[in-house]
A and B are shown apart, each in its own frame.
Chain A
Amino acid sequence: MKNTFIGQPMERREDLRFLRGRGEYVDDVALPGLLHAAILRSSVAHGKIKSIDTSAALKRPGVHTVITAADMPGGPPIVPMRLQPLPEFKPFEQPAIAHEKVRYVGEPIAVVLAATAAQAEDAFDAIEVEIEELPAVADWTVAQRNNSVLFDKQGTNRSMVFESRKGDADAAFASAPYVRKERLRTGRHYGLTMEPRGVMATWDAAKGMLTIYGAAKVPFFNRRILSAQIGLPVEQIEMIENDVGGGYGARGEFYPEDFLIPFAARHTGRPVKWIEDRRENLIAMNHAREEEAILEVACARDGTILAIRGEVHTDMGAYMRTNGAVGARNVSQFMAGPYRVPHVKIDSSLWMTNKTPVGTYRGPGRFEANFFLERMIDMIAEELRIDRIDMRRRNLITAKEQPYPIATVQPTNAVDEYDSGHYPETLERALQEIDWPRVSKLQGKLVDGKYHGIGVVCFIEGGAAGPKETARLEVNGDGTISLYLGTSSVGQGVETIFAQIAADALEVSIERIRHVHHGSTAYVSDGYGAYHSRSTVMGGSAVLDAANNFLAALREAGAKRLGCDANAVTLDEDKLTGGGKSVPLREFAGLTQEGVFLNKKHTYSYGSHVAHITVDPKLGRIEIIDYVVVQDVGRAINPLTVKGQMIGSLVQGLGGAVLEDLKYDENGQILTGSLADYLLPLASDFPNLRGVVLDKYPSPINPLGAKGAGEGGIIAAGGCMANAVANALSSLGVQPRQLPLSPAYIWELLQQAGRKAAE
């Protein structure tokens, strides 16, 4: 092979455009005759809608129309689930606009269309909504009592129990020499994007075309949802992807607004734009994470893990959203993480509550599982008086055990196995990076009023969800080549990576790959999008297939022109050569070929986090001295962008570890309704973070050998920080059992430990 763009740390080709302010976000797109939408949302967590009177609002300045459920004959459509769409979930899916009942603060009640967004918002106070309040179900422990139920016909607040099983855990527990049981919980977070969501829709009645701007992540799937809801064939709906300010699993799923705005455009015959504001974003975009585990681990006295068993309870919020089940599913299947655990039995219950519904957020279920198990490993090691790192070494899966089977999840019968890797290797590398011989001496030491602690954890990251991805290559009129993809960009740098892969496969310069188009439904016949760390693996492998087909087609076309055998034709940068002659590539303008990659398996990248922190015991404040993530990604197409993913997701994970928590009161009112209270990491909060990318164990399941690698930084951050705090305060007997590790929580733990010591 002539080229080696793959594996090179190449700067992102999308960056210049962004840095020059030339990105185009949905709010940058304007159309003549535009109406602006503002959405009146429920301020009541749980109640029966008695009446909605919009007549006064219609008289407000600039107001054009107010849409409610009453405008939808037969009632509002339901937003169906995309992942794990089990029949049991059906009754819990969300109507596109509230009717009969409201079930969370933030649920859409009415859409006001006006000449400006401010005028639309001004009209809110002229809409009279009468709601008979019902007792709110504020968390899973209340939900469990079923005194107040969200869905009357169901009669229970539990929508599902996922059961993960491997071996015979009960038998293993019955004969185990040592068992530890703990109750642990994570906070409620969300994949907060810098740019809130936005949808713009236009209806061309003459052509019968509905065009949607602001599509992201999974446009093809969303088009199918909308097609069914609105009664138009998919060919009459076009989804246009714009630049996006962050995805994180939350943007680009089908939300109520993804029906309401296209509906409004068709209803009025005018283009309609809705741009979510931050206050809405906090209550309308998918929440995530809030899970509680009651977990048991059975061990031999030497720390060999024999079995894991327990329950997890997820606070689902009010509806089953498109990907809402993923976190609760994953936490059960990945509870064992990167460790060799022969027997697993986890029951994961999904509880409907009067809060904003949950969806996936980077590392769904894995962040939680990692915190639960890694916390327990440290507690067990301490109790058994064995070294916590040795305990990990003893249990990490090794290369010769691959592929390693993991727990099967019911009722979806999800059988799975890890693909490749020698998991102890990243742990050793991380310890080396942090200079373990030196820092280990600081463990638990009080220096200048601060305790030093080291957190050590290992993680597994899943990626590359199937079933398929599509790519297409086309010769442009100027002899350059364009690349079109069914997957989408949510900021991962896919334009750069796909260009690297295509240039290598075609053996041309990277500049020859002129444009990389993705995400909109117009480019390829089908696409599955950007989730589950899948774009590089799935899209990249599809690019390889497309390149093969494209080269074959070029050779054939070239052979005709050059009068030689197709096998004798080569692509030579800007021309085809063969039989001693050549013909410019531009003369084949329009020549195009698709390629697909089909895949039923998953990739599993893996790694380790080691953090050196201090805790000020008087303030409860944590400071990070040094933090290293080492991750083996199978094959690093672009080490620079992988590292970017690691550091970015680590900062996000540290937010969840120490700052972020969406809090509600017992009436289902959100207490963290702005970014003054929902605390994100700021640029200056975590300066000392390092990432090391390894690619020693390629994935056997795709031709690139690549693995999904967008979540490794976030997954283990909660577990690592909690273990570091426990290590720092080990002389005082402090064991964090929940996230976030807020100063007030750490201080409270220290007071409890002090009172215990005094007894």
Chain B
Amino acid sequence: MKLPPFEYACPTTLNEAVALLASHNGEAKAIAGGQSLVPMLAFRLARPSLLVDLRKLPGLNEIKIGADGVRLGALVRWRDIQDDKRLESAHPLLKAAIAHVAHYQIRNRGTVGGSVAHADPAAEMPGVCVACDAVITAAGKGGTRAIKAADFFEGALTTALKPDEIVTEIHLPAWPAVRRSGFQEFARRRGDFAMSGVALFYDLDAGGKATNAHIGTIGVGDRPRRLAKAEAALNGQAVTEALAVKVGEAAAAEVDPQEDIHASAAYRRSLTGTLCERALLAAAR
């Protein structure tokens, strides 16, 4: 479990970092908090020839809150999100979800950019991004582009990023006052990756009914995704216990979970339904 040999660079500008990433025939890798990459190196599941440390890149560690929503610099750490009181109203779903990420030590180092680039199917941040229609900005040799979260995550540990691209920002659209949200996940121990999780929100219309329903899942499938049928079951309805059960059932029917050593597919499906139901009730409370 010793790291394989690699070269190391710590550039101070984005252009330099992109150039370095482009320089090693696709064998260079960015490193941010190192909380996913270093274990991969220790297990020798990754053997990059060059590590490009992003920590000195300017301006990437800010949380900007404006009329158009929340902008998280790629180097924002989990701890920064937890400590930012403004987010309680600016993005309660983000705040609630990030409380489930890992443990103190890891939260002090892990970054949002690293999380989306790593694209673990059970990770919270990608789930929030997909549920909230986030836009992810990446800078590369070819310039800067904005990628919709739904297009960004392509599969387990696979994204739309090119080898020379660096995530610079994640934009979560504005959070209206009429929005209600809930986040529920289940892991065997607190801080573990979720066996299943649900991030959802809806807006209350003038009649007290749910509109604009967004229901996203993590941990069930090879990437986070939204559940159109469950959302349809919610839209236009007043949230009651009976409705929560119905939406939960729709969610359970809609996911296509895989089996692993911790859980059967049937159990994961059932979990998703239960978590969706509970998240919805929590949102309505």
> Which A residues between 639 and 682 are near B, CB-CB below 8 angstroms?
659, 663, 671-672, 674, 676-677, 679, 681-682
**Are B189 and A679 touching (Cβ within 8 A)?**
yes
> Which B residues between 190 and 233 are near A, CB-CB below 8 angstroms?
190-193, 195
Is B270 part of the contact surface with A, judged by Cβ < 8 Å? Answer: yes
A-chain residues with CB within 8 Å of residue B191 when the two chains form the complex: 682
Contact with A along B254-273 (1 / 0, CB 8 A): 00000001111011001100
Give the residue name and chain of the A residue nearest to B273 (CB): A618
A-B contact count, CB below 8 Å?
62
Q: Shortest Cβ distance from B46 into chain A, in angstroms?
A: 15
Residue of A677, A744, A751 with most partner-chain B CB within 10 A: A744
Contact with A along B63-99 (1 / 0, CB 8 A): 0000000000000000000000000000000000000
**Are B1 and A278 touching (Cβ within 8 A)?**
yes
Question: How far is B5's CA from A116's CA once the two chains are assembled, in angstroms?
Answer: 12
Is A122 part of the contact surface with B, judged by Cβ < 8 Å? Answer: yes
A-chain residues with CB within 8 Å of residue B186 when the two chains form the complex: 619, 621, 743
Give the residue name and chain of the A residue nearest to B266 (CB): A751
Give the residue name and chain of the B residue nearest to A120 (CB): B2
Is B285 part of the contact surface with A, judged by Cβ < 8 Å? Answer: no
> Which A residues between 695 and 752 are near B, CB-CB below 8 angstroms?
742-744, 747-748, 751
Is A118 part of the contact surface with B, judged by Cβ < 8 Å? Answer: yes
Assuming the contacts A618-B274, A744-B267, asked whether A671 and B261 have C-beta atoms less than 8 A apart, the reply is yes
B-chain residues with CB within 8 Å of residue A121 when the two chains form the complex: 1-2
Q: Shortest Cβ distance from B9 into chain A, in angstroms?
A: 20
Question: How far is B195's CA from A553's CA once the two chains are assembled, in angstroms?
Answer: 68
Assuming the contacts A277-B1, A671-B261, A744-B263, asked whether A659 and B188 have C-beta atoms less than 8 A apart, the reply is yes
A-chain residues with CB within 8 Å of residue B192 when the two chains form the complex: 676, 679
Is A7 part of the contact surface with B, judged by Cβ < 8 Å? Answer: no
Question: How far is B192's CA from A618's CA once the two chains are assembled, in angstroms?
Answer: 19
Is A565 part of the contact surface with B, judged by Cβ < 8 Å? Answer: no
B-chain residues with CB within 8 Å of residue A743 when the two chains form the complex: 186, 188, 195, 263, 267
**Are B3 and A677 touching (Cβ within 8 A)?**
no
Is B43 part of the contact surface with A, judged by Cβ < 8 Å? Answer: yes
Question: How far is B260's CA from A663's CA once the two chains are assembled, in angstroms?
Answer: 11
**Are B2 and A117 touching (Cβ within 8 A)?**
yes
Is B176 part of the contact surface with A, judged by Cβ < 8 Å? Answer: no
Is A684 part of the contact surface with B, judged by Cβ < 8 Å? Answer: yes
**Are A672 and B261 touching (Cβ within 8 A)?**
yes
> Which A residues between 14 and 62 are near B, CB-CB below 8 angstroms?
38
Is B4 part of the contact surface with A, judged by Cβ < 8 Å? Answer: yes
Give the residue name and chain of the A residue nearest to B264 (CB): A744
Assuming the contacts A618-B274, A744-B263, asked whether A685 and B1 have C-beta atoms less than 8 A apart, the reply is no
Assuming the contacts A279-B43, A618-B274, A682-B191, asked whether A747 and B1 have C-beta atoms less than 8 A apart, the reply is no
**Are A677 and B261 touching (Cβ within 8 A)?**
yes
**Are B263 and A685 touching (Cβ within 8 A)?**
no
Is A620 part of the contact surface with B, judged by Cβ < 8 Å? Answer: yes
Partner of B271, one of A277, A619, A677, A748: A619
**Are B189 and A682 touching (Cβ within 8 A)?**
yes
A-chain residues with CB within 8 Å of residue B264 when the two chains form the complex: 744, 748
A-chain residues with CB within 8 Å of residue B1 when the two chains form the complex: 121, 277-280
Contact with A along B101-113 (1 / 0, CB 8 A): 0010000000000
Question: Contact residue range for chain A?
Answer: 20 to 34
B-chain residues with CB within 8 Å of residue A277 when the two chains form the complex: 1-2
Q: Shortest Cβ distance from A601 into chain B, in angstroms?
A: 42
Give the residue name and chain of the A residue nearest to B275 (CB): A619
B-chain residues with CB within 8 Å of residue A118 when the two chains form the complex: 2-5
Question: How far is B266's CA from A674's CA once the two chains are assembled, in angstroms?
Answer: 25
A-chain residues with CB within 8 Å of residue B43 when the two chains form the complex: 279, 674
Question: How far is B271's CA from A751's CA once the two chains are assembled, in angstroms?
Answer: 13
B-chain residues with CB within 8 Å of residue A744 when the two chains form the complex: 262-264, 267
Give the residue name and chain of the A residue nearest to B5 (CB): A122
Question: How far is B2's CA from A38's CA once the two chains are assembled, in angstroms?
Answer: 10
**Are B267 and A747 touching (Cβ within 8 A)?**
yes
Q: Shortest Cβ distance from B95 into chain A, in angstroms?
A: 20
Question: How far is B271's CA from A359's CA once the two chains are assembled, in angstroms?
Answer: 37
Question: How far is B103's CA from A395's CA once the two chains are assembled, in angstroms?
Answer: 46
Give the residue name and chain of the B residue nearest to A677 (CB): B261
Q: Shortest Cβ distance from B50 into chain A, in angstroms?
A: 17
Question: How far is B261's CA from A671's CA once the two chains are assembled, in angstroms?
Answer: 8
Question: How far is B264's CA from A681's CA once the two chains are assembled, in angstroms?
Answer: 22
Q: Shortest Cβ distance from A174 into chain B, in angstroms?
A: 42
**Are B274 and A619 touching (Cβ within 8 A)?**
yes
Q: Shortest Cβ distance from B15 into chain A, in angstroms?
A: 32
Give the residue name and chain of the A residue nearest to B186 (CB): A619
> Which A residues between 562 and 596 are near B, CB-CB below 8 angstroms?
none
A-chain residues with CB within 8 Å of residue B266 when the two chains form the complex: 751
**Are B4 and A742 touching (Cβ within 8 A)?**
no
Question: How far is B262's CA from A672's CA once the two chains are assembled, in angstroms?
Answer: 10
Q: Shortest Cβ distance from A388 into chain B, in angstroms?
A: 29
> Which A residues between 262 and 288 are near B, CB-CB below 8 angstroms?
277-280
Partner of B190, one of A38, A278, A684: A684
Give the residue name and chain of the B residue nearest to A38 (CB): B2
Question: How far is B39's CA from A278's CA once the two chains are assembled, in angstroms?
Answer: 12
Q: Shortest Cβ distance from B184 into chain A, in angstroms?
A: 10
Q: Shortest Cβ distance from A577 into chain B, in angstroms?
A: 58
Contact with A along B1-16 (1 / 0, CB 8 A): 1111100000000000
Give the residue name and chain of the B residue nearest to A61 (CB): B5
Question: How far is B199's CA from A117's CA once the two chains are assembled, in angstroms?
Answer: 44
> Which A residues between 155 and 191 are near B, CB-CB below 8 angstroms?
none
B-chain residues with CB within 8 Å of residue A676 when the two chains form the complex: 192-193
**Are A742 and B274 touching (Cβ within 8 A)?**
no
**Are A742 and B188 touching (Cβ within 8 A)?**
yes
Q: Shortest Cβ distance from B147 into chain A, in angstroms?
A: 29
Question: How far is B186's CA from A744's CA once the two chains are assembled, in angstroms?
Answer: 11
B-chain residues with CB within 8 Å of residue A751 when the two chains form the complex: 266
A-chain residues with CB within 8 Å of residue B190 when the two chains form the complex: 682, 684-685
A-chain residues with CB within 8 Å of residue B189 when the two chains form the complex: 659, 679, 681-682, 685
Question: How far is B191's CA from A744's CA once the two chains are assembled, in angstroms?
Answer: 18
Q: Shortest Cβ distance from A744 into chain B, in angstroms?
A: 5
B-chain residues with CB within 8 Å of residue A619 when the two chains form the complex: 186, 271, 274
**Are A679 and B261 touching (Cβ within 8 A)?**
no
A-chain residues with CB within 8 Å of residue B261 when the two chains form the complex: 663, 671-672, 677
Q: Shortest Cβ distance from B193 into chain A, in angstroms?
A: 8
B-chain residues with CB within 8 Å of residue A116 when the two chains form the complex: 2
Residue of B3, B5, B192, B263 with most partner-chain A CB within 10 A: B263
Q: Shortest Cβ distance from A657 into chain B, in angstroms?
A: 13
Q: Shortest Cβ distance from B161 into chain A, in angstroms?
A: 24
Question: How far is B1's CA from A685's CA once the two chains are assembled, in angstroms?
Answer: 27
Give the residue name and chain of the A residue nearest to B259 (CB): A744
Q: Shortest Cβ distance from A518 into chain B, in angstroms?
A: 31
The contact sample of 15 A-B pairs, CB cut-off 8 A, is: A116-B2, A118-B4, A122-B5, A618-B270, A671-B261, A676-B192, A676-B193, A677-B262, A679-B188, A681-B189, A682-B103, A682-B190, A744-B264, A747-B270, A748-B264
User: 4 new A-B pairs (CB below 8 Å) besides A619-B186, A682-B190?
Assistant: A121-B2, A277-B1, A279-B43, A677-B262
Top 3 nearest A-B pairs by Cβ distance? Answer: A118-B2, A277-B1, A618-B274
Residues of A that sit less than 8 Å from B by CB? 38, 116-118, 121-122, 277-280, 618-621, 659, 663, 671-672, 674, 676-677, 679, 681-682, 684-685, 742-744, 747-748, 751
